[in-house]
Homo-oligomer: A and B are copies of this chain.
Amino acid sequence: MHFTSEQRLDDGVLERAFTLDRGPGIPGILWTPASATASAPAPVILLGHPGGLRAMYPRLVGRARHAAANGFATATIESPGSGDRPRSGDAEQARADLRRAVLAGEPVDDEIVDRLVLPLVAKAVPEWQTALDAVLALPDIGGPVGYSGGVIAVGVRLALVEPRIVAAGLFAGSYVPRATFDEARQVTIPLHVLLQWDDEGNDRQLALDLFDAFGSQEKTLQANMGGHTGVPPFAGEDAARFFARHLT
């Protein structure tokens, strides 16, 4: 990992862009609260997102500032096939098939979802783990680790295979592969699942079924109104308290 730029935001949060030294390089951003030092390292939350760091930046930095106000560092990396990262022909084809089905008003075939999401999960999860190795090697960052956001299939796999992640706040979205349900049953870490009840692009029943499938003894579903991007401020605060309970 090497840092490519650094700026101090007005609330004292240190924002550092980095490139992860894996293959052709994966861009990412690390935010640390002013309070984080080598003698008081900050716990870190990995910020999941649907891909496209540049377009997602305003929402990501908002989540990062909020987490920093609670004493948490946050880190995110670009998704495989998003931003400036090389496209995969198979993923582009699956995305085109998905778009065609949605525009035609047809149900989206499980097979299309598998072709779109499973390779993404398989690629993204080890990249998140490499990012975690690099971030935890920094003196001002410590454990434990949380994962927050989508893509939910990535979050589920990470919750299952990465023992350093002790709590996950997941954003319920559609297009969940059948295999993710099997993995969800084996997840045991505390979960806080956000569902936008009136999100028209979302399959609500699927989100409820996935929540039901999770094996965790502590799992909370919080459903709110406001559409896909309209998570109310108090829901962000409740999620922050979830991480405060489990990461501090």
Contacts and interface: CB of A to CB of B under 8 A. Distances in A.
Interface of A: 197, 208, 211-212, 216-225, 232, 234-235, 237-238, 241-242, 245
A212 B197 contact: yes
A222 B219 contact: no
29 contacts: A197-B211, A197-B219, A197-B221, A208-B208, A211-B223, A216-B225, A217-B225, A218-B225, A218-B232, A219-B224, A219-B225, A220-B222, A220-B223, A220-B224, A220-B232, A220-B234, A220-B235, A221-B221, A221-B222, A221-B223, A222-B222, A222-B223, A223-B223, A234-B241, A234-B242, A234-B245, A237-B241, A238-B238, A238-B241
Q: Which 6 pairs of residues, A with B, have the shortest CB-CB distance?
A: A221-B223, A222-B222, A220-B224, A238-B238, A219-B225, A217-B225
Contacts of A216: 225
Q: How many copies of this protein are present in the complex? A: 2
A70 to B, nearest CB: 15
Nearest to A212: B197
Contacts of A211: 197, 223
Contacts of A212: 197
A130 to B, nearest CB: 33
Contacts of A220: 222-224, 232, 234-235
